[in-house]
Each structure stands twice: as structure tokens, then as C-alpha cells.
Structure 1
């Protein structure tokens, strides 16, 4: 299985566990909040690099 496939499987499993333990809204806040917080903690050069990779993958 590819790396992105494994990441997707782990994300879905984490979502199911969070929904089961905490309910819909708290789990949704965690699932959206963690990636947003991680992005905001990057310095501007790292953010540019992340945005550049995303654009390259869209064209494939």
C-alpha cells in the first residue's frame, strides 16, 4: 500500500474512534484543528514549500 493510502486508512480509523469516544462536534473540531494548528506553526518559508508541493500534485 502506498504511503498516502496508509495515511488515509489511519485518518479514517482515527476519525471513527474520535466520533465514537467524543461525539460528532468535538471529534470534528480535533480532526480539523490539529492540521490547521500544525500549518500555522510553520514559518513562512515552510508554508511556501507546502503550498508549492500541493500545486504540483494537483497537476498530475
Structure 2
């Protein structure tokens, strides 16, 4: 399993545990913010940076 997949798995487990332990609106807001952060970062890129990001393969990201 790649290191990135381990991070995603850990984040998913922490999100589920937070929802089970603290079932409130704040937990839902935190989970949605955690999912929305990469999307917001993508939209903050210039068009040329987005094009370059789409052009490279997934395994090249992080080198």
C-alpha cells in the first residue's frame, strides 16, 4: 500500500470515529471541510498549472 493510500485510509477511519464519538454538526462540518480542501486548492491553480497537473500521471505527483 502506498504512503498516500495509508493517509487516506487513516483520514477515513478518523472521520468515521469522530462521527461515532461526537455525532454533531461540528463533526460533519469538519469532514466536509476535509473533503473540500483539495478541491478548493485545485480551483486556486492557474489554468496552465491545472493543465500541467492533468498532463502528468498520478504516480509522478509527489516526486
Shorter-normalised TM range: 0.5 to 0.7
Gaps of 5+ in 2: 21-26
| Structure (1 or 2) with the larger CA radius of gyration | 2
Q: Is the 8 A contact 1:15 1:31 kept in 2?
A: no
For the residues of structure 2 that align with 1:10 and 1:43, how far apart are their CA atoms? 27
Q: How many residues align?
A: 51
**Once the two structures are superposed, what CA deviation does each residue of 1:1-32 show, in whole Å capped at 9, x if it has no partner?**
6xxx10011111012112212x28822x2343
Gaps of 5+ in 1: none
Using structure 2 for the length normalisation, give the TM-score. 0.61
Alpha-carbon RMSD across the aligned residues, in angstroms, is: 2.8
Using structure 1 for the length normalisation, give the TM-score. 0.63
